[in-house]
Structure 1
Amino acid sequence: MFVRKILLYSLLLIVGIFNAHAAEPKIKVKVFVAAMFEISENQGDKAGEFQHWYLTYFKETKPIQVTGAVNPVFCNKDGVCGSVLGMGKVASSASMQAILLNQHFDFAQSYFVLNGVGGTPPSQGTIADVSWGTWLVDYDLGHRWKPEEAEAGKPTFMPRKGYENIRSYQLDTNLVRWTKQLSANVQLKDSPSAQAYRTRYPDKNARRKPKITFGTHFTGDTFFHGPGLSKEAQYISELYGADDYVITEMEAAAITQVIDRLHGTSRIMSLRGAVNFDQGHPNESTLAHLDPAPGETAGGFAETVENIVLVGSQVVDHIVLNWADWKDATPKLN
């Protein structure tokens, strides 16, 4: 009899715990901010891609552990959530899928800001620029061969059949127009070190002050570098009918594929800050640019990661403050 009572009590306890968890309301996520890395802590040290977001939105929140994600999720009372997903296609997309499928969250009406740092071709941008993506293109999906094995001057990349639906994504044009309007008046920060570094490049865009740009963000696990591969990225953008290549990064197309399978792409935004050029200046080899000597780095990293949040928060705040207009669909912008 005693054993039966213990078993009955245990069963009731288990059922009670299960029901308690089942009764917990899901967090309705209005905006999810995805960063790819943080240098160390979320506050109190050198900032990476997430720290300024954390200080702006999540400082008073508690971490939510998610099985399968490399870092916890933070959510504030206004429905803004964020996490550091990990660098590269596999780490970031695996974390995103684990978070999307987790029982704590309701992503049915969520907007996504995929944000971080990247590189820019000097013909298109400069250090401390902030760029909203209009297209996301996967750099890795196709066939490549060595230039010496090709006809002189001809491309060494060929698309492969079967990847048509995942090799490129055009982001919602109406939402891109909203990002342009909402962030148009943000004053971007700059640094003396970045200003000095720009003078090494002859390109007009490379030498100017930082600004907000729009164009194709190129996703690749391969950290491609040099004028030849930069031209190849532009060639692939044109081949796919995308806009000019303006940012190189490592995650956005992969994360978008994961989100697309569950929620589509109409609420995805890609936001990147340029912390390096994708090639050396005319008097610098590609290898020297990839592995710079002390004092030869671009500078401006701290200002760029702050600029990203200065720009992105304008959109996040507007969506949250006007949620009744945004929850069912992105409002039409006349």
Structure 2
Amino acid sequence: MLTRTISSIAAITLAACAATASNAQDNDDNFAESASHGRPVKVMIVSMFAPEGQVWLDHLGPWESTPVAGLSPDYPDVHCNKQDICVMTTGMGHANAAASTMALTFSPRFDLRHTYFLVAGIAGIDPQQGTLGSAAWAKYLVDFGIQWELDGREIPPGWNTGYLGINTKDPTQKPPLDYRTEVFQLNTALADAAFVLSRNVQLSDSDEAKAARAKYGYAPADLPPTVIQCDTLAGDTWWSGTLLGERARQWTKILTDGKGVYCTTQQEDNATYEALSRAANAHRVDLSRVAVLRSGSDFDRPYPGQTSADNLLNYAAQGGFQPAVANLFLAGNPLVQDIATHWSEWRHGVPPR
């Protein structure tokens, strides 16, 4: 009995030593990979679903695919070309965007310390700021979802909306920003450089989009798409309506102290930016190198005489999807190529132009 006990103890000790050696080897391997910082990347293009990523993959290949643990199972690989331009897809919505971006930035497979991030996706658009196919460079990211909401049929007298900032007393007050993700300001110099590089690009259009925008009867909604500068609003709830659109404008003004101009509505950008911010705190990325481009695939409110329900339920009939996707590349690629081909000018920050 004693012999069997001693043998058992010896076996356990040997197993523990083997496990310790194995863990030490794993730690050494992880340290070695971390020490090399992974593959350097000049530009990381962040898309949210397949068509947004595919427009880049169709133009800038050939590509090398690298799997990254923690990315969406629908989009498990990061694709990089010989210019050190990479494309990743997060999956749609706040949760996917945050989780995938965190997985990317904390992966040892890539060195992102000097990388420029281009978040490029389609969005709803305010017809008073742009039109179907318009490509908008943002300076502010505003979260539309972090609000209190009252049923619109039960709002107090004198209120024009059922939305108000959390821990405020009426819809006009700025909240205390306790969540710390309600609003972000991007690097103005980078946003301006991106706009200058792309503002004269001829954008894609479609006959369906031309017919849809003509119903609005006012500019810029009924004009051809152009590259513009205005700000973007995030929230996982798809919405449509003139009154909700007015709240979007008001909310953007409140959170940016009157400096921001709402024009596009999407789901992910505040979540993506917060994940990048966490990585920046760990010295893995540079937050001054984040640009956001959103192109209008559908109007956020109806044309005169149309119902909000019809505008929402038949958004695809507006014909803006294909031009909006194409224009992500057309408007975004001038910045991407300028960074990649003039890296000595961009490596240490946005160059004066």
Contact between 2:102 and 2:279, CA under 8 Å: does it hold in 1? no
- Relative to structure 1, the CA distance from residue 151 to residue 107 in structure 2 (aligned partners, 3 Å threshold; closer, same or farther) is same
The 1-side partners of 2:289 and 2:120 are apart by 14
From 112, 133, 145, the counterpart of 2:150: 145
- Write the distance in 2 (CA, Å) between the matches of 1:122 and 1:13: 61
Range that drifts further, 156-165 or 97-106: 156-165
For the 8 Å contact 1:272–1:308, the answer to whether it is kept is: yes
Q: Which residue of 1 aligns with 2:55?
A: 52
Matches within 5 A, 1:168-207: 168-207=183-222
Partner amino acid, structure 1, of 2:271: A
Mapped pair 1:167 → 2:169? no
The match for 1:228 is 243
Residue among 81, 88, 102 paired with 2:86: 81
Q: Is the 8 A contact 2:155 2:161 kept in 1?
A: no
* 1:219-243 residue CA offsets vs partner (Å, 9 max, x unmatched): 1111121011100010001111242
Q: Distance in 2 between matches of 1:309 and 1:167?
A: 28
Separation in 2 of the partners of 1:17 and 1:235? 53
Pick from 239, 259, 283 the counterpart of residue 276 of structure 2: 259
Amino acid at match of 2:234: T
Contact residue 183 and residue 270 of structure 2 kept, 8 A = yes
**1:123-142 to 2 correspondences below 5 Å:** 123-142=128-147
Q: How far, CA to CA, are the matches of 2:135 and 2:328 in structure 1?
A: 6
Q: Distance in 2 between matches of 1:13 and 1:231?
A: 60
Determine whether 1:239 maps to 2:254.
yes
Mean alpha-carbon deviation: is it higher for 154-163 or for 263-272? 154-163
User: Post-superposition shift, 1:53?
Assistant: 0.5
Structure 1 contact 141–163 (Cα < 8 Å) conserved: no
Match of 2:141, SS?
strand
- What residue is the counterpart of 2:107 in the other structure? 102
Q: For residues 183-241 of structure 1, what are the alpha-carbon distances to aligned partners after superposition, in whole Å with 9 as ceiling and x for unaligned?
A: 12211111111111111112211100100111110011111210111000100011112
SS in 2 for 1:269: strand
Residues 91-122 of structure 1: CA distance to partner in whole angstroms, max 9, x if unpaired? 01100000100010111111110111001111
CA drift of 1:11 comes to 11
Q: Does the 8 Å contact 1:133/1:215 carry over to 2?
A: yes
Whether contact under 8 Å (2:46, 2:88) holds in the other structure is yes
Distance 2:21 2:160 in 1: 72
* One-letter amino acid of the counterpart of residue 62, structure 2: E
* AA aligned opposite 1:301: F
- TM-superposed CA distance for 1:292, in Å, is 2.2
Q: Which residue of 2 aligns with 1:63?
A: 65
The aligned runs of 1:278-289 (5 Å cut-off) are 278-289=300-311
When residues 300 and 149 of structure 1 are mapped into structure 2, their CA distance, relative to the original with a 3 A threshold, is closer
Pick the aligned partner of 2:127 from 117, 122, 130. 122
Residues 236, 14 of structure 1: CA spacing in aligned structure 2 closer, same or farther, 3 A cutoff?
closer
Structure 2 distance, partners of 1:211, 1:189, is 9
SS of residue paired to 1:273: strand
**Offset, 1:325:** 1.5
Deviates more, 1:314-323 or 1:143-152: 143-152
Q: What's the C-alpha RMSD, in Å, of the aligned pairs?
A: 2.5
TM-score by length of 1: 0.87
Q: Which residue does the alignment assign to 1:154?
A: 160
Give the secondary structure class of the aligned counterpart of 1:330: coil
Structure 1 residue 30 corresponds to structure 2 residue 56: no
Instruction: Tell me the distance in 1 between the aligned counterparts of 2:145 and 2:22.
Output: 52
1:19-62 per-position Cα deviation (integer Å, ceiling 9, x unaligned):
67765651111111000001xxxxxxxxx1111111222x3223
Change in CA separation of 1:149 and 1:185 when aligned onto 2, cut-off 3 Å = closer
Alpha carbons of structure 1 residues 162 and 15: separation in structure 2 relative to 1, 3 Å: closer
Identity of aligned residues (%): 28
Count the aligned residue pairs. 316
C-alpha offsets along residues 266-311 of structure 1, whole Å, 9 cap, x if unaligned? 1111111101000111211111111129xx7101322221111011
Gaps of 5+ in 2: 1-14, 167-175, 281-285
Letter in 1 for 2:140: W
**Which structure: greater helix fraction?**
2
**Partner of residue 12, structure 2:** none
3-state secondary structure, aligned to 1:316: helix
**Aligned residue among 222, 225, 240 for 1:210:** 225
Cα distance in 1 for residues equivalent to 2:340 and 2:31: 27
